[in-house]
Amino acid sequence: MDLANFTFRPVNIRPYKSDIFPSTLGPLADLPGKWQGTGFNQIWRPFRAGPGDPPSQDRFLELNLTTETLEFEEISGPIPNRGFLQGDISMFGLTYLQKISDVVSGGIHIEPGIWAVVPKTTDPLETETVARLASIPHGTTILAQGTALTVDGPPRISPVSITPFAIGNPARTVPFPESDLTKETPFRQISNDSITQGMVDNPNSVLLSALTGQLVFKTVVLLISTTAPSPISGGGTDGTAFLQGSPTHGPNASPASMNAIFWIEKVVPDGGGLEFLQLQYTQTVLLNFNGLSWPHVSVATLRKVV
């Protein structure tokens, strides 16, 4: 490098231009503001058996009805990414703060993060994508990347299961009695009597119930994953040393992966009324411990209030 002739040069910012979405925020354009609503949270927690407990008892099932506030603020200006294999690119995005509380006992989750839109790239060869960067205070970080599309009409919401399975083999499920609400057990916590077996069998049924009496006429779909399928190569999870455990004894509760779908919906009440914006999501985090992957499923339905 010729230091005598070195000069600082401005980054060549290329404005984001989507083939589908006109805003620099692309499919995230309706997110800025404050959203509030309710949801359902399910998590298998690792359990260390003590005196008087069955030696094989390695899990505890927690079920929560939740209230949630999710606030987005647009980042003022582009987020430059310097390129070596290809020219620089610019992302655009939003910061967010998510606060989730059990309807009875109070706070259970807080998450600061960023949503961003990423333009097409040629090296690597990737389509336009969206990415979510999240930090969870108990010691987990995620980067989930994926695609966005817009459709006429309501979202298509498929069932989701909370049944654990052998690590790396989702077909080899291992059911446990804690997920059967007809069976009494000290190893399950239910925050509210209105939680039903149908909700446990399929947490996404809560989202479908929230759509009753609504006419969704347009939906933006955000599909993201920490293990994004080809051709999207970005994404991943990480955890503290405590969560990851040791090679000898395995993890305490290692965050192996996260998959989520967010639906940004334009809605009018069935039969007429004022149009409003609604945000629904389903998210599954796999926590690995004691040889199994344990699904941690969260769902919510939020309305834009500001």
The CATH code of the domain that includes 195 is 2.40.128.20
Percent above pLDDT 90 for the chain: 77
What is the C-alpha to C-alpha distance for residues 147 and 117, in angstroms, rounded to an integer? 10
Can you give the length of the chain in residues? 306
1 domain residue, yes or no: no
79 domain residue, yes or no: yes
207 domain residue, yes or no: yes
Q: What is the pLDDT of residue 228?
A: 73
C-alpha triplet 72, 221, 109: angle, nearest 5°: 45
Give the pLDDT confidence of 153-184 residue by residue, as tens digits: 999 999 999 999 999 999 999 999 999 999 99
What is the C-alpha to C-alpha distance for residues 209 and 213, in angstroms, rounded to an integer? 9
Q: For 197-202, what is the mean pLDDT?
A: 98
Q: What is the pLDDT of residue 231?
A: 61
Q: How many domains does the chain have?
A: 1
Residue 250 has pLDDT above 70, yes or no: yes
Region for 237 from its dihedrals, namely left if φ exceeds 0, alpha if ψ lies in -120 to 50, beta otherwise: beta
Reported as a pLDDT band with limits 50, 70 and 90, residue 16 is very low
What is the C-alpha to C-alpha distance for residues 273 and 32, in angstroms, rounded to an integer? 23
DSSP letter, residue 178: G
What is the C-alpha to C-alpha distance for residues 22 and 14, in angstroms, rounded to an integer? 15
Residue 9 has pLDDT above 70, yes or no: no
Contact yes or no for 67/106 (Cβ under 8 A): no
155 domain residue, yes or no: yes
- Among the residue ranges 80-84, 105-109, 292-296, the one predicted with the least confidence is 105-109
33 domain residue, yes or no: yes
Residue 188 has pLDDT above 90, yes or no: yes
16 domain residue, yes or no: yes
Structure tokens at 260: 């989520």
77 domain residue, yes or no: yes
Domain that holds residue 271: 12-48+56-304
Structure tokens at 284: 């599954």
What is the C-alpha to C-alpha distance for residues 69 and 53, in angstroms, rounded to an integer? 38
Helix (H, G, I), strand (E, B) or coil at 266: strand
Contact yes or no for 268/285 (Cβ under 8 A): no
Q: What is the pLDDT of residue 271?
A: 79
Per DSSP bridges, beta strands 121-122 and 125-126 are antiparallel
69 domain residue, yes or no: yes
Q: What is the pLDDT of residue 107?
A: 82
What is the C-alpha to C-alpha distance for residues 244 and 255, in angstroms, rounded to an integer? 8
